[in-house]
Amino acid sequence: MDGWMMDGWMDGWMDGWMDGWMDGWMDGWMDGWMDGWMDGWMDGWMDGWMDGWMDGWMDGWMDGWMDGWMDGWMDGWMDGWMDGWMDGWMDGWMDGWMDGRAGGRADGRTDGRTDGRTDGQTDRQTDRQTDRQTDRQTDRQTDRQTDR
């Protein structure tokens, strides 16, 4: 009985019906229904609904709302508020405060003290310095040349 059960019926059952089940129904199920489901419904879902969602709604969102936001609100903010702030407040500050310093204290110095000095003392000083330097250089060069 053991020989018949183990070697005969059991092996026959294992090799026959079970292997047949594994090779036939199971593989057929795996290759057929499951692969068909994977290739068909799932891939169709991935290629169809998902891609359509990605290409349609998402791209429409990216191209539409996001780009509109970037081009519209953000650029408007950059061009409007920021540039207005840069051109208005900053330039006003630069032109006002800086020019106020230059126009007030510096211009007063330039027009008053400096110009007076330039016209009077500077011309005299320049003439004297030029005369002194030229005389010294000429004397030195003459001395060197005659020594040689």
For the chain, give every domain's residue range. Answer: 75-117
In a 13 Å sphere around the CA of 99, the CA atoms on its Cβ side amount to: 7
Residue that is written with structure tokens 């290739």 in the block: 39
Comparison of pLDDT for 147 and 124, the residue scoring more = 147
User: Which pLDDT belongs to residue 33?
Assistant: 78
User: In this model, does residue 115 exceed pLDDT 60?
Assistant: no
Neighbours of 58 (CB within 10 A): 11
User: Which pLDDT belongs to residue 104?
Assistant: 52
With helix as H, strand as E and coil as C, how does the chain read?
CHHHHHHHHHHHHHHHHHHHHHHHHHHHHHHHHHHHHHHHHHHHHHHHHHHHHHHHHHHHHHHHHHHHHHHHHHHHHHHHHHHHHHHHHHHHHHHHHHHHHHHHHHHHHHHHHHHHHHHHHHHHHHHHHHHHHHHHHHHHHHHHHHHC
* Average pLDDT, integer, range 66-81: 78
User: In this model, does residue 93 exceed pLDDT 70?
Assistant: yes
- Mean pLDDT computed over every residue of the chain: 72
User: In this model, does residue 100 exceed pLDDT 60?
Assistant: yes
User: In this model, does residue 22 exceed pLDDT 60?
Assistant: yes
User: In this model, does residue 124 exceed pLDDT 60?
Assistant: yes
Radius of gyration of the chain (CA): 49
User: Which pLDDT belongs to residue 102?
Assistant: 60
